[in-house]
Amino acid sequence: MIFGPSFRVSLANSALLTLIAASMAALLLTSISCGLLEDDGGNVTVGTVMPVSGDLSTLGPAAQSSISLAFDLINEAGGVNGSQIEVFHRDSGTNATLGADAASGLVNINHANFIMAAHASPVTIAIAESVTIPNGVLQISPGSSSKAISALDDNDMVFRTRVNDGIKAQALAKLAQAIGYKRVSTTYVNNAYGESLNESFVENFEAIGGIVSAAVPHELGQASYVSELRDASEEDPEALITIAYPDSGTTLLREAAEGGYFDEFIFVDQTKSQSMFDTIGGNHFDGSFGLAPGSPETPAVRDFRRVYSERTGNDPDAQIIAEAFDAAIVLALAIEQADTDDPVTVRDQLRSVANPPGEAVGPGDIPRALELIRDGKDINYEGAAGSIDFDENGDVLSSMRVWQMVDGKIQDTDIFAFPGDDINLPSVR
């Protein structure tokens, strides 16, 4: 086909107009990403990177729904600074490389100034080091607990609502002591989460007179863990401290029970998975205890459980959902307080809305919390997972809740472990 001169001129003009339009769009996006457009009714963009596939795939969808619910409540109360919050969910694959790629897309394609990520500590660290810190993007993790996150050179741009492994390990050692164990072995997932929790547990248990017979790392996704179980059981420890993810934990614990390597176990938060125990046969583990972050039932906790159940129809006690909800709410409140979506300015308001002093507000008070901020009043958000008070590292303190396997099912007890306290159990041995 031959085109005439008029078409060529039109094509040239079209190309020029396209170039101009693209330049204007780029300028507009730059303005938005720098937080220069306020009170214009546009959206504030938040990205999440949660495990929808991989070893932690049972936990990601619930965290996504909890975050979406939190932002829905904010948007229904008028949004932040006249804008609605728009959230884009991405899958981490429980993999550091995939998670970092997902976060990069959220920042560079969706222009997110805020990333909520991740669950697995190696994924959180990879995203922080390769995406959020270099790009000046504020990151909040609702699920990662490795102590290595506290040590990141992050310009105070990485926060989390999940208690770190130092506190968790201290309570884990006290639980082993309360049960009466003198000698235990550990097996831990060979990554930043497992290494951090195992190292801290060994240090704490030995400090109170316990003996760790063996500390055996294991890799994700192995076909069998018999070799690791043999190493862990070699010196006849009384129990196995199982620091594992649900998918790999299914294989490991099935082999531990069927092979008779261990009769008694202590579980951690990542193995608090009813679907995992159902797959194996939970009755094998009756009587064993576990430990996971948990808060006594405060008005804030009750409000969250009610709202989450009513709006989603899902279990309000599922792992990570309370921390995910809290992370989303404190982020939104900080954006409102900052009066901009500039990440650094918002970062500077996170502790202001989450920590004392200020009027206490919780999951049932979202409209009032926003109104107080708009009236220039100080607030102190009390969360679904407990008090969300950020320290200088962006970490929070949290109590731990003891759970136990009974008739093949996970049952939460009314026993809570607070940092530094002993754990008192009924006679169990």
* In a domain? residue 392: no
- Tens of pLDDT along 368-408? 999 999 999 999 999 999 999 999 999 998 899 999 999 99
Q: Which of 4-18, 140-154, 246-260 has the lowest mean pLDDT?
A: 4-18
Question: Which helix (H) or strand (E) covers residue 366, if one does?
Answer: helix 366-374
pLDDT in the model for residue 19: 37
Q: Could you tell me if 179 and 124 lie in one domain?
A: no
Work out the pLDDT band at 427, boundaries 50, 70, 90.
low
pLDDT value of position 40: 44
**285, 410: one domain:** yes
Q: Does any domain span residue 379?
A: no
Q: For residue range 72-89, list pLDDT tens digits in order.
A: 999 999 999 999 999 999
Q: What is the pLDDT of residues 241-250, one digit of tens each?
A: 999 999 999 9
Together in a domain, 151 and 284: no
Q: What are the residues whose beta carbons fall under 8 Å from the beta carbon of 366, sequence distance 6 or more?
A: 73, 74, 77, 329
Average pLDDT over residues 56-76: 97
**Same domain, yes or no: 107 and 188:** no
The residue count for the chain: 429
Q: How do beta strands 211-218 and 183-189 pair?
A: parallel
The band of 428, judged by pLDDT with boundaries at 50, 70 and 90, is low
CATH number at residue 158: 3.40.50.2300
Q: What is the pLDDT of residue 317?
A: 85
Residue 345 to residue 157: CA distance in whole angstroms: 11
What pLDDT is stored for residue 425 in this prediction? Answer: 86
Q: What is the mean pLDDT of residues 183-197?
A: 98
Question: What is the reported pTM?
Answer: 0.87
359 within domain boundaries: no
- Chain mean position to CA 11: 51
| Structure confidence at residue 238 (pLDDT) | 98
Which residues are CB-neighbours of 419 under 8 A, at least 6 positions away?
A: 167, 170, 171, 397, 399
Q: 21 and 72, same structural domain?
A: no
In whole angstroms, what is the distance from residue 226 CA to residue 232 CA? 10
Share of the chain above pLDDT 70, in %: 90
Give the whole-angstrom CA distance, residue 105 versus residue 116: 14
For residues 404 and 282, state if they share a domain: yes
Same domain as 175, residue 150 = no
Domain residues for the domain of 11 are: 1-33
Confidence of residue 429 (pLDDT cuts 50, 70, 90): low
Q: What is the pLDDT of residues 87-136, one digit of tens each?
A: 999 999 999 999 999 999 999 999 999 999 999 999 999 999 999 999 99
Average pLDDT, the chain: 91
Domain membership flag for residue 112: yes
Check whether residue 278 and residue 406 sit in a common domain: yes
Same domain membership, residue 239 and residue 148 = no
For range 269-278, the mean pLDDT? 95
How many angstroms separate the CA atoms of 218 and 233, rounded?
14
DSSP 396: B
Residue 393 inside a domain? The answer is no
Which tokens hold the place of 133? 């810190």
For residues 55 and 158, state if they share a domain. yes
Task: Report the number of distinct structural domains present in the chain.
Answer: 3
287 plus 173 within the same structural domain = yes
Residue 325: the pLDDT is 98
Q: Count the Cβ atoms, other than its own, within 10 Å of residue 222.
A: 13
Report in angstroms the alpha-carbon separations of 362 from 83, 112, 285, 333: 22, 26, 37, 11
Structural domain contains residue 140? yes
Asked if 171 contacts 397 with a C-beta cutoff of 8 angstroms, the reply is no
Q: Virtual CA dihedral for 301, 303, 306, 310, nearest 10 degrees? A: -130
| CA–CA gap between residue 48 and residue 35 (Å, rounded) | 19
Candidates 296, 239, 295, 231; CA nearest to 267 is 239
**Looking at the domain assignment, is residue 148 inside a domain?**
yes
What's the pLDDT at 12? 36
Residue 201: phi, psi to the nearest 5?
-65, -50
| Same domain membership, residue 225 and residue 254 | yes
372 located within any domain = no
